[in-house]
Amino acid sequence: MQGRLRDQQLSVDIETVCAHCARPMHLTADSELRFRVHDPTAHPLVFSPQVDWATFEEPNITHAF
């Protein structure tokens, strides 16, 4: 979301563990809300918020959520 707010191309690498089985996971997400899972056997559920920018009225996205 930061990339869209700043009108920049950004990406982030996420190192985490599965809440279900405690297996390590490595993901990459970008400012276009695309993500890539580095382990082909992992199938995480990834939440990408949808914002209706035409009606967005908060001072910033942090306040909205």
Q: Tell me if 59 sits within 8 A of 65, measured CB to CB.
A: no
- Where are the domains positioned within the chain? 1-40
Q: What is the pTM of this model?
A: 0.55
Query: 15: pLDDT confidence band, cut at 50, 70 and 90?
Result: very high
pLDDT digits (tens, 9 = 90+) for 27-57: 998 887 788 999 888 887 777 667 777 787 7
Q: CB 52: neighbour CB atoms within 10 A?
A: 6
| Cα separation, 32 vs 3, whole angstroms | 8
**Amino acid at residue number 6:** R
Cβ atoms of 35 and 27 within 8 Å: the answer is yes
Residue 6 contacts residue 27 (beta carbons within 8 Å): no
